[in-house]
Amino acid sequence: MAATTVDWIRNWEEIYDGRLKVMQRDYSIDDWTERAEDYSERRKTNQYEFGENVYAALTGHGIVGDTSRVIEVGSGPGTFVIPFSKHAEHITAVEPADGMIRIIRENAREAGIENYDIINKIWQDVSIPELRGKYDLVITSTVIWMFRDIMAQISRMEEMTHGHCCVVEGIDSTDALGKKIWYTIMGEIPYPPYPGYPIIFNLLYQNGRIPQVRIVEAKSRRSTEKLMKMYKVFYSLYTKFTPEVEEKIHSALLADSASGLHEGTYRSAVVWWDPKERREMV
């Protein structure tokens, strides 16, 4: 019996479209401003352990170093801006949300970082001709799922670098607490999947790239207060955020940690490739 070939681009689009069908509205830039403090608290855990581990994975394979110029697509609170700036020559943050930009600057001042700049735009509005070939590495983390036209945006990343591209995605899309809260609020409605790893790896390979991957592990530390802000934004996308919904979330968070501090370990896939290297398409 012949094996069925998966169309990974179509698979990506189906996941994207399926998520939108469940949502009452899509994310807005204001939502990311609202989540800025939560994201920052998470990424700063153990002195930016997540970003440092990603950097270590890349520098260990000669992808980035002290003379590198890096651009981060959808930088959030400075996921890679802060840890990478300690090692690389310069890093540019592409970030549209004013709240995230404020946090990047606060975190940079706190860390004594100055070798960075910010492009205050959504990625799709960034002018590629102005920046073509300027960077050694184009990197993004937990952002690429927002692009339905996935290969078009990957191609834009590739145009901007004379070195490598990198996508970092979580391996486990939802933790146990997140799943528990979802079904408490949403009943039997399935949790909407977010395309990431290993789909992005397969998609790249199927379209001629030669991706490499390494798995990194990092701690996450978040307060109940910050997590409540995150869940308020998240569930406002899928249902009416009533006092009852808020109470269900709050009760679940209290049961998870009476101390008000939520800690966990999560794994992410660091996927990189050289746009100049292509495999022969069959």
Average pLDDT on 65-86 reads 96
- The fold for domain 8-173+190-221+263-273 equals Rossmann fold (3.40.50)
Tokens 């079904």 correspond to what residue?
183
pLDDT at 173 over 90: no
Report the b/e string of 224-253 with b at 16+ CB within 10 A: bebbebbbbbbbebbeebeeebeebbeebb
* DSSP calls for 13-24: HHHHHHHHHH-S
pLDDT (tens digit, 9 = 90+) per residue, 195-232? Answer: 889 999 999 999 999 999 999 999 999 999 999 999 99
Q: What are the domain boundaries of the chain?
A: 8-173+190-221+263-273
pLDDT (tens digit, 9 = 90+) per residue, 177-201? Answer: 888 899 999 998 988 888 889 999 9
pLDDT at 2 over 70: no
pLDDT-derived band of residue 1, with 50, 70 and 90 as boundaries? very low
User: Considering the entire predicted model, what is its pTM?
Assistant: 0.93
Looking at residue 194, its pLDDT comes to 82
pLDDT (tens digit, 9 = 90+) per residue, 15-73? Answer: 999 999 999 999 999 999 999 999 999 999 999 999 999 999 999 999 999 999 999 99
Looking at residue 258, its pLDDT comes to 76
**Mean per-residue pLDDT over the chain, rounded:** 93
Query: Tokens at residue 33, please?
Result: 């401003």
